Structure 1
């Protein structure tokens, strides 16, 4: 049996580590797509507003679950060590990014602009887990300009992983793991989240 039945359960578990924000002026922002399911549970448990941030991972060709980096609107985060290890050259990286920018643009069109809701508020930024951290770093950079403060909150992550110094005000990991190979290994159900489910959750249906 895995640590969590599914992302919704992971959110309920994570909410217990964020009790200080219950009923506050903070807003919960899920990293689309999977992080939105976790975030919806956190928002429901803590009686907070919910929004989403669109981020795309730049995957290693043939091993897309391994991140070369990640992108958000106006943001590009590259893991130089992984790029070198995967022997991905600049031209190939540019092609990957161009393709993922198109997907990012499409996804941004499906979800409301989060910036007005985030403005001047503490943001509880949530994903379903961290492997390399590229996606989380891109999301943090993407909301930094609008947010008054950022709490990066994650159900499961490597025990030795930390956000970049000064990038967030607080980092919360409910279950730090000494050896984390794949986030999905900690979920019984890690089915890919659809765009339709993200839209439904942001509308408040099924929370």
Structure 2
């Protein structure tokens, strides 16, 4: 069991990201699970913490299996897992309907977590995208695609644990990648944490409040 919980994983990940201290970095968490990890990194690097509001698009009859992912924006970025879509006979209409459902959940979360605050301008910044682990990589790849449209100087992915094959795919889409553990026989992210609870909207709001205090002012401003 390499990690006690998400916060402990975040502190270990922060040590591996020390080279980014003092640089113009913005940390992006994939909520909900990536937020406790990202919060610890933001604390150590003393940088703004933002959200990448991305959702897995699961199969209609097996939501845990990702057939893609979507992130909000003026033009929502979509990642498709064509193998899963074809193998399970998912029609284009069904895929798009599932995407729309997840975009509605993203809209709800944006309103609750961020209100009417506009997206932070990250041009010239290094965007470090953090999750609690990579299983299929679909949500992370959607986050990369969406944030690329906001023209950061560089995109870095940082996770405590990942399947090796997924890490290799994601590595080709970013400028740098940091991963602490790539265990053989990877099955699920939660199996690599001793304590891996489902997080709530209130957990997210509490973490954002803590991040605002660290930033010393308005959330996300430096």
TM-score (norm 2): 0.85
User: Is the CA contact (8 Å cut-off) linking 1:33 and 1:54 kept in structure 2?
Assistant: no
User: Is the CA contact (8 Å cut-off) linking 2:171 and 2:177 kept in structure 1?
Assistant: no
* Superposition deviation, residue 165 in structure 1: 6.6
- 2:148 aligned to which of 109, 129, 144: 144
| 1:65 matched residue in structure 2 | 64
User: Is the CA contact (8 Å cut-off) linking 1:56 and 1:104 kept in structure 2?
Assistant: yes
- 1:157 aligned to which of 154, 159, 162: 162
* Superposition deviation, residue 104 in structure 1: 1.0
Instruction: Name the structure with the higher strand share.
Output: 1
User: Is the CA contact (8 Å cut-off) linking 2:57 and 2:69 kept in structure 1?
Assistant: yes
Count of aligned pairs between the two proteins = 206
Determine the C-alpha separation between the residues in 1 that align with 2:121 and 2:50.
8
Determine the C-alpha separation between the residues in 1 that align with 2:32 and 2:118.
14
* Residue segments in structure 2 that go unaligned for 5+ positions in a row: 215-222
Determine the C-alpha separation between the residues in 2 that align with 1:92 and 1:167.
28
Determine the C-alpha separation between the residues in 1 that align with 2:170 and 2:157.
11
SS at 1:179's partner residue?
coil
Change (3 A) 1:151 1:114: farther
* Residue segments in structure 1 that go unaligned for 5+ positions in a row: none
User: Is the CA contact (8 Å cut-off) linking 1:115 and 1:143 kept in structure 2?
Assistant: no
Determine the C-alpha separation between the residues in 2 that align with 1:114 and 1:126.
21
* Superposition deviation, residue 139 in structure 1: 0.4
- 2:185 aligned to which of 162, 179, 182: 179
Change (3 A) 1:29 1:98: same
- Stretches of 4+ moved more than 6 A in 1? none
- 2:125 aligned to which of 117, 121, 126: 121
| 1:81 matched residue in structure 2 | 83
- 1:92 aligned to which of 91, 94, 100: 94
| 2:13 matched residue in structure 1 | 14
Determine the C-alpha separation between the residues in 1 that align with 2:60 and 2:192.
24
CA RMSD of aligned residues (A): 2.0
Determine the C-alpha separation between the residues in 2 that align with 1:10 and 1:181.
18
Q: How does 1:183-194 map to 2 (within 5 A)?
A: 183-194=189-200
* Superposition deviation, residue 99 in structure 1: 1.3
Determine the C-alpha separation between the residues in 2 that align with 1:40 and 1:87.
39
SS at 1:44's partner residue?
helix
Say which is worse superposed, 123-132 or 171-180, in terms of deviation.
171-180
